[in-house]
Amino acid sequence: MELINLIFRLGVLFAIYGFLWFFIEIGLKIILGSRKRTLGEIYLIKTVKYLFLVNVTFLFCLQQYHELQVNYMNVAPSFMVLMVYFLGKLQQNEQRIQLMSSLTQGMPAAPFNRRWEIALIVLSALTFIGFVYYPQYSENGISTWFQRSIMDIEHTVIIGFIFKIIGFFFLMSMFFKMLNALNYIVSGKPMVNVRTGFGSKKAPNDDSFDDYEEIDDNKLQE
């Protein structure tokens, strides 16, 4: 039961974090104007996004016990859920690129680098493990702001309830995602196509963000 509650809370955390990052992306688009981002800029921003999500997730694990002492009963499953989440994102991006390439033959595909994606996941994993050994470095002004903002939104009556619904769907789909991730590593193909939360049927040219989780940086190049 505690594991189920943990996965549910992580689903709410991921959704609200993506919601907050949506406004950060809007600010970046205003600052950059109409200038197209380079592939390096796209992955630099994505790296910052992933690493702060790792940081906030780790703080969330420690916050359950209100101390910096690491409890592996909480940290270990959180690490697994986070890695499955990132692998699911990689799978979705690859499927989206393949779909867009087939629909826009003769046109350049949206920027995507599988090696960079995998390197980013590995870096995120190493960062999380580093926090386990040095939890004091997980506390900083930006990650603390994210944590407090996420908790404030979660406790809001209407908006918090909406994100809890998303967390429920995240819980239901996480089991399928775990199976997908294992099958994807072994065979390179998903066993079941599952998306977390709402918006599972989405046109490739739809500019809305997915489950408040991620704005597709690739669309900025179109």
- 99-103, 142-146, 151-155, 160-164: the lowest-pLDDT one: 99-103
pLDDT in tens, 150-168: 999 999 988 888 988 988 8
pLDDT value for 105: 64
Is the Cβ–Cβ distance between 139 and 147 less than 8 Å?
no
- 38-47, 85-94, 195-204: the lowest-pLDDT one: 195-204
Residue positions counted in the chain: 222
Q: CB pairs under 8 A, 24+ apart, for 85-90?
A: 85/14, 85/177, 86/50, 86/120, 86/121, 86/124, 87/121, 87/177, 87/181, 87/184, 87/185, 88/177, 88/180, 88/181, 88/196, 89/213, 89/214, 90/114, 90/117, 90/118, 90/121
Residue 117 pLDDT > 50, yes or no?
Answer: yes
Q: CB pairs under 8 A, 24+ apart, for 191-195?
A: 193/95, 195/92
User: And the tokens for 191?
Assistant: 């066993």
Mean pLDDT of 169-179: 74
pLDDT in tens, 34-77: 778 888 888 999 999 999 999 999 988 875 445 566 667 788 88
Secondary structure class of 210 (helix, strand, coil) = strand
